[in-house]
């Protein structure tokens, strides 16, 4: 499932689209597109120029010169991949954007859980999303304030997109291991030094994963179809039974908040 580092890598790979103009749009599976009432997705986008490609949480955002935006949620198996309009189309293409210069952007999705949404200028589509963990506002103080009074298990809180946007299961597990914190701990029960360690671990893990172009453990590829590299340096995620790199104890998998969670019983306290 693409998390912040994967979507960031995709968005960076799609910077080549900035200033290009959309020609035709082919919607192969109408239920993946969401459009303002009364609007026709393909017709509304024809002729639109892409002014920026950004990321917000786990969403890719295409700003259009009309002030509208296309917001893409990749969910489980969604991909945004570039090609030429002359190349054969992906068999799981759901929406195909043909740019006027011969570039093609395909939203492909095996499981069809992803969505492509056209939002109006100023529409507050991301109001429910929390702080960006790589923004200057995500200070240790802000993080500590977020945990105060919260009895939620810290792992569950890290996955709550309304608090911090973009962290999913992989990076929550990895950050908690790096900070040596047990994933079941009530958020408010962490000591100040532990909260500081976790804050730094979140930022470090995300930055390292971006530097390695994301984690390809299942379907993720970047905008050019290439896999990431962070799956080769994971410490706990998916490592049940393997020795902890810090202490040698076998990594365990437990379920917390209905999500598989990998951690070390010895060095995560
Ligand atoms: Zn350990």
The whole-number average pLDDT for the span 76-90 is 96
What pLDDT shows up at residue 50? 98
Give the neighbor-by-neighbor strand order of the sheet with 78-84.
22-27, 93-99, 103-109, 78-84
Q: If you search the block for the tokens 């799609």, which residue do you land on?
A: 14
Distance CA 31, CA 175 (A): 36
What's the pLDDT band for 70 if we cut at 50, 70, 90? Answer: very high
What pLDDT shows up at residue 36? 86
Active site residue 3: yes
What's the pLDDT band for 28 if we cut at 50, 70, 90? Answer: very high
The answer to whether the beta carbons of residues 220 and 228 sit under 8 Å apart is yes
Indicate the Cα dihedral angle 145, 148, 152, 155, nearest 10°.
40
Active site residue 193: no
Active site residue 91: no
- How high does pLDDT run on average in the chain? 97
The answer to whether the beta carbons of residues 127 and 133 sit under 8 Å apart is no
Buried b (16+ CB within 10 A) or exposed e, 181-204: bbbbbebeebeeebbbbbbebbbe
Cα angle vertex 123, ends 47, 45, to 5°? Answer: 15
Active site residue 197: no
Name residues with Cβ closer than 5 Å to ligand 1, which is an ion. Answer: 244, 246-247, 249, 264, 266-267
Active-site pick, 12, 46, 259, 265? 259
The answer to whether the beta carbons of residues 34 and 66 sit under 8 Å apart is no
What pLDDT shows up at residue 31? 95
The whole-number average pLDDT for the span 154-167 is 98
List pLDDT tens digits, range 97-151.
999 999 999 999 999 999 999 999 999 999 999 999 999 999 999 999 999 999 9
Long-range contacts of 136-139 (CB under 8 A, 24+ apart): 138/164, 138/199, 138/203, 139/199
Residue 239 has pLDDT above 90, yes or no: yes
List pLDDT tens digits, range 173-221.
999 999 999 999 999 999 999 999 999 999 999 999 999 999 999 889 9
Beta strands in 75-218 (DSSP E): 78-84, 93-99, 103-109, 115-119
The whole-number average pLDDT for the span 64-82 is 97
């Amino acid at each position: 499932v693409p998390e912040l580092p994967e979507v960031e890598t995709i968005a960076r790979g799609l910077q080549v689209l900035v200033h290009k103009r959309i020609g035709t749009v082919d919607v192969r599976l109408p239920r993946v597109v969401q459009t303002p009432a009364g609007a026709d997705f393909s017709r509304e986008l024809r002729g639109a120029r892409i002014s920026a490609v950004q990321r917000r949480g786990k969403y890719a955002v295409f700003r259009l010169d009309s002030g509208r935006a296309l917001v893409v949620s990749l969910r489980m198996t969604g991909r945004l991949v570039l090609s030429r309009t002359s190349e054969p189309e992906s068999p799981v293409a759901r929406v195909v954007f043909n740019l006027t210069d011969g570039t093609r952007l395909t939203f492909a999705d095996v499981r069809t859980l992803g969505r492509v949404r056209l939002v109006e200028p100023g529409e507050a589509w991301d109001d429910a999303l929390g702080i960006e963990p790589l923004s200057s506002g995500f200070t240790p103080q802000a993080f500590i304030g977020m945990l105060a009074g919260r009895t939620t298990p810290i792992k569950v809180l890290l996955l709550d997109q309304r608090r911090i946007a973009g962290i999913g299961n992989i990076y929550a597990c990895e950050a908690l291991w790096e900070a040596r914190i047990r994933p079941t701990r009530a958020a408010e029960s962490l000591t100040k030094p532990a909260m500081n360690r976790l804050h730094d671990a979140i930022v470090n893990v995300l930055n390292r994963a971006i530097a390695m172009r994301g984690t390809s453990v299942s379907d993720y590829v970047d905008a050019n179809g290439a896999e990431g590299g962070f799956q080769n340096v994971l410490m706990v995620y998916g490592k049940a039974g393997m020795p902890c790199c810090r202490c040698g104890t076998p990594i365990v998998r437990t379920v917390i908040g209905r999500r598989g969670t990998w951690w070390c019983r010895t060095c995560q306290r």
